[in-house]
């Protein structure tokens, strides 16, 4: 579905444009719309190739020690405009070191923040909590307000293209691979992704090594 929809849109819009003579402004509008669909397709393909490499056992390389709270704050700054428009604020609590490939860790944290922004209600707060649950490991959990999920939904939230019912209103803002990529990046570091829920709240996060193997 995620691939068929943009392809169908491209074909349909092109067929309509070719059905009769059109002026330059109308053709420019069609091309702009087609470009947006092509960029969406490119993003899906790139993400699927990344997941394929991860499934084939690709590991994180060029790891360095970072403070997770610093990385989170950099990404919160990146999302500043989106947060302002949504009336949301992000609270960061705690800190822990992590031994990571920085670009991958930022991608995973960014996906977690984007997921929370998309699915939290307007004006709601987002909490990022960083802990060291045991020696040698760091955990980062991003929490937002959420209706309760069923056990079946919780079992599939990291699957490719999976969306729970209440998030479909935001389906146009992502293509359903963000959490699958979070899980893949955690595994590339020897860690894991997780989801936990409490009444009215849900947390997605990842567990990463805090020191060199």
Give the tens place of pLDDT for each residue, 113-162.
999 998 876 567 899 999 999 999 999 999 999 888 999 999 999 988 87
Q: Grade residue 101 by pLDDT with cuts at 50, 70 and 90.
A: very high
Residue 182 and residue 108 in contact, taking contact as beta carbons nearer than 8 Å: yes
Q: At 143, which helix (H) or strand (E)?
A: strand 137-145
Closest residue by Cα to residue 82 from 115, 35, 33: 115
Given a cut of 90, whether residue 196 has pLDDT beyond it is: yes
Contact 182, 111 (CB under 8 A): yes
Q: How confident is the model at residue 170 (pLDDT cuts 50, 70, 90)?
A: very low
Q: Strand 89-93 and strand 125-131: pairing?
A: parallel
Task: Quickly state the pLDDT bin for 1 (edges 50, 70, 90).
Answer: low
The per-residue pLDDT for range 51-73, each reduced to its tens digit, is 998 888 899 989 999 999 999 99
pTM: 0.82
130 alpha-carbon distance from chain centroid: 18
State how far the Cα of 177 lies from the Cα of 174, in Å rounded to an integer: 8
- Do residues 154 and 118 touch, judged by C-beta distance below 8 A? no
Between 22 and 3, whose confidence is greater? 22
């Amino acid at each position: 579905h995620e691939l068929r929809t943009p392809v169908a849109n491209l074909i349909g819009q092109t067929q309509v444009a070719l059905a009769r003579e059109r002026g330059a402004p109308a053709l420019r509008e069609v091309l702009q719309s087609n470009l947006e669909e092509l960029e969406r397709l490119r993003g899906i393909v790139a993400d699927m190739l990344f997941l394929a490499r991860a499934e084939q056992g690709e590991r994180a390389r060029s790891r360095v020690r970072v403070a997770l709270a610093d990385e989170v704050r950099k990404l919160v700054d990146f999302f500043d405009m989106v947060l302002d428009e949504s009336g949301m604020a992000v609270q960061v609590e705690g800190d822990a070191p992590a031994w990571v490939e920085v670009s991958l860790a930022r991608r995973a944290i960014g996906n977690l923040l984007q997921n929370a922004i998309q699915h939290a209600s307007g004006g709601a707060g987002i909490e990022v909590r960083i802990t060291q649950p045991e020696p040698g490991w760091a955990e980062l959990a991003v929490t937002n307000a959420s209706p309760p999920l069923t056990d079946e939904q919780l079992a599939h939230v990291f699957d490719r293209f999976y969306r729970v019912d209440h998030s479909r209103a935001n389906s146009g803002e992502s293509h359903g691979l963000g959490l699958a990529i979070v899980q893949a990046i955690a595994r590339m570091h020897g860690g894991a992704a997780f989801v936990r829920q409490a009444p009215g709240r849900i947390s997605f996060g990842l567990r990463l090594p805090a020191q060199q193997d």
